[in-house]
Amino acid sequence: MNENDLLQQAAALPPGRVTRLEIADQSYFVKMVETHQRLRLHVTKGDPAKALAREVGLLRAFAERGAPVARVVAANERHLILADHGTPVEKAVRKGEVSDALLRQIGSTLADLHARGLAHGRPVLRDICHDGTRITFLDLEAGAKLNARDHDMARDLIILIYSVMMSTSANRDIARQVIEGYRDVGTEAVWQATCRRSRKLWWLELLARPGVWLHRRRGKKRSEMIAIGATRALIASY
């Protein structure tokens, strides 16, 4: 099916942020321009049409460099149609249903993206897909960079490790596999920058303390507060 036909099909979909579209045995994901009516969101998140256009531009630029990001099949001002890249790894990681090989592949695929001089911006597990063979990164937002420095790549790696530490309680071993995978392919300079950046985040851990206390008291299983200290401790253990 050609791009215009696909865009027409996308336009006929009921409103929603991201919808799966199946046509002639092919599966796609359609991302629509966000329609946040509330002024507050408009102020904090900016112009949604611009945000979509920006993402399309970034995805195409990343693809030109051969980066493992979602493939743009078609796009206009209102719709972005992407190839289907499988299932997000988050749930499987949370349930402990992922092999060490896959965990390492997540790390090494981020290193591959970095090797092309790019930074993703926010590589969290819900935006990392697996199709049985390949790992693909979705959702390029503010923070994605075409001329990334070690510092930006370190930020990506910390966010990825943090996302793992938040998703499951058996996270240390899982996160270690992801780190090993990254270090197999990535540069030592980025790893050193990651250690430095993580050391500098002591203030964040301090800020999270009341939250940690509260979550421990409530016996919360997955805590974004506790994960901060856990992430820093894990990185420091190398």
Ligand X SMILES: Nc1ncnc2c1ncn2[C@@H]1O[C@H](COP(=O)(O)OP(=O)(O)O)[C@@H](O)[C@H]1O
Binding region for ligand X (CB under 6 A):
17-18, 29, 31, 70, 82-86, 88, 126-127, 129, 138-139
φ, ψ of residue 37 in degrees (nearest 5): -70, -30
Q: Which residue sits closest to Mg ion, CB atoms considered?
A: 139
- Torsion 111-88-3-48 (CA) sign: negative
Q: How far is the CB of 80 from ligand X (least distance, A)?
A: 9
Residue number, 35 or 192, with CB nearest to ligand X: 35
Rule CB under 5 A: which residues touch Mg ion? Answer: 127, 139
- Round to whole Å and give the CA distance between 55 and 51: 6
Picked from ligand X, Mg ion, none, the partner binding residue 84 (CB below 5 to 8 A depending on kind) is ligand X
- Cα separation, 168 vs 211, whole angstroms: 18
Nearest distance, CB of residue 224 and ligand X, angstroms: 17
Q: At a CB cut-off of 8 Å and minimum separation 6, what does 108 contact?
A: 181, 182, 184, 185, 186
> What's the token pair of residue 84?
């289907």
Start-to-end C-alpha separation, the chain: 51
Least separation, in Å, of the C-beta of 129 and ligand X?
5
The residue among 113 and 230 lying less far from ligand X, judged by its C-beta, is 113
The distance of closest approach from Cβ of residue 20 to ligand X in the complex, given in angstroms and rounded to an integer, is 8
